[in-house]
């Protein structure tokens, strides 16, 4: 039996979280078109007859650190790679031109003396393609695999390559007792991530990345309903107004979509009390 830790790295929005969710056939990482969606390393386990893989989905690396959030994100990614990783998987998106972020990721990967796999994502998209810009990277890695994280194409090939390179050993995690749906996601953290994802997807470009979610209370009541009290924190009054929306339409949409997903995840009825507050120190909660 084989077991080990595999770190997924890459620039923001390269498809790391989508790939992990598709490998595990369940949601452990939130996704959205915005950078900074993943803000801390998320661990989750894949198991089959060959053994166990503990995946670490790291936040995307930013080339230029312009704020407190991106600075913390970069630090967390580099720290995650220093903690007993057996294989690193660098995921690139061939539909986007290479940029300084790729160079920074590659510089970090070069310092790590473990097996390395380059994954070229979005092969389901023919155009635009900047594949030629990534070909030089192939000699830096032990293997190159082209995948579609969205539709699962060649994920089996990637898993084969990972198990071939993992060391022999017993399982690292007792999945019978681990927190679901990820090892290091307690219920409040998972709930806050789901709400934050729905906020990102609902708001799109209207609000920048200056928001986070704090879950204050999670309680299962006698009738089986899960009661959740949470706050969306943002940095300015103008953003608060955008998040709430005219006649509270936007905050209601965020709450409704989050509640539906939480009900699916818990298989219980959920009551979500969601409010919006201005807190100039919101980044301290990340």
159-172 pLDDT per residue, tens: 999 999 999 999 88
* pLDDT at res. 284: 62
- Comparing C-alpha atoms, which of 237, 151, 232, 241 is closest to residue 193? 232
Question: Taking a C-beta distance cutoff of 8 angstroms, is the pair 102, 92 a contact?
Answer: yes
Per-residue pLDDT, 184: 45
The end-to-end CA distance of the chain, in Å, is 37
pLDDT of residue 74: 44
pTM: 0.62
Full DSSP string of 213-269 = EEEEEEEE-TTSPEEEEEEEEESSHHHHHHHH-GGGHHHHHHHHHHHHHHHHHHTS-
Among the listed residues 195, 173, 214, the one whose alpha carbon sits nearest the alpha carbon of residue 256: 195
Q: How many CB atoms lie within 10 A of CB 192?
A: 23
Q: What is the pLDDT of residue 127?
A: 92
- Number of residues written out for the chain: 286
Residues of the chain short of pLDDT 70, as ranges, are 27-42, 59-83, 176-187, 205-209, 265, 282-286
- 226: which residues sit within 8 A by CB, 6+ positions away? 218, 219, 220, 262, 266, 268, 269, 270, 271
Residue 115 confidence (pLDDT): 94
Alpha carbon distance 169, 22 (integer Å): 25
Q: Is 96 exposed, middle or buried (0-12, 13-18, 19+ CB in 10 A)?
A: middle
**60 DSSP assignment:** P
What does residue 91 show for φ and ψ, rounded to 5 degrees? Answer: -105, 125
Domains, in order of start, for the chain: 2-165 (3.40.50.300), 187-285 (3.30.300.20)
State the CB neighbour count (10 A cutoff) for residue 31: 20
Beta-strand ranges (E) seen in the chain are: 2-9, 42-48, 51-57, 87-93, 116-121, 143-146, 211-220, 226-234, 270-278
3-class DSSP assignment, residue 32: coil
173-199 pLDDT, tens per residue? 777 655 454 444 456 777 887 888 788
pLDDT of residue 98: 87
pLDDT (0 to 100) of residue 38: 43
């Amino acid at each position: 039996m084989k077991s080990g830790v595999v770190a997924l790295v890459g620039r923001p929005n390269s498809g790391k979280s989508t790939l992990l969710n598709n490998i595990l056939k369940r949601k452990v990482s939130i996704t959205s078109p915005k950078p900074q969606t993943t803000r801390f390393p998320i661990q989750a386990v894949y198991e089959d007859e060959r053994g166990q893989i503990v995946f670490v989905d790291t936040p995307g690396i930013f080339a230029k650190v312009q704020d407190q959030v991106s600075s913390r994100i970069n630090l967390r990614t580099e720290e995650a790679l220093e903690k007993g990783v057996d294989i690193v998987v660098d995921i690139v998106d061939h539909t986007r031109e290479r940029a300084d972020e790729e160079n920074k990721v590659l510089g970090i990967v070069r310092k790590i003396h473990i097996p390395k796999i380059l994954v070229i994502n979005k092969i389901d998209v023919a155009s635009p393609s900047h594949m030629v810009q990534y070909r030089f990277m192939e000699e830096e890695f032990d293997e190159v695999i082209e995948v579609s994280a969205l539709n699962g194409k060649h994920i089996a090939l990637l898993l084969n390559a990972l198990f071939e390179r993992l060391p022999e050993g017993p399982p690292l995690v007792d999945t019978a007792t681990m927190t679901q749906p990820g090892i290091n996601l307690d219920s409040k953290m998972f709930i806050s991530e789901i709400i934050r994802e729905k906020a990102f997807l609902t708001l799109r470009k209207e609000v920048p990345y200056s928001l986070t979610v704090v879950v204050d209370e999670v309680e299962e009541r006698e009738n089986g309903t899960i009661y959740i009290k949470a706050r969306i924190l943002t940095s300015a009054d103008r953003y608060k107004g955008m998040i709430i929306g005219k006649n509270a339409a936007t905050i209601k949409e965020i709450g409704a979509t989050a509640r539906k997903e939480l009900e699916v995840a818990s298989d219980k009825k959920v009551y979500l009390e969601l409010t919006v507050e201005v807190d100039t120190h919101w980044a301290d909660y990340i």
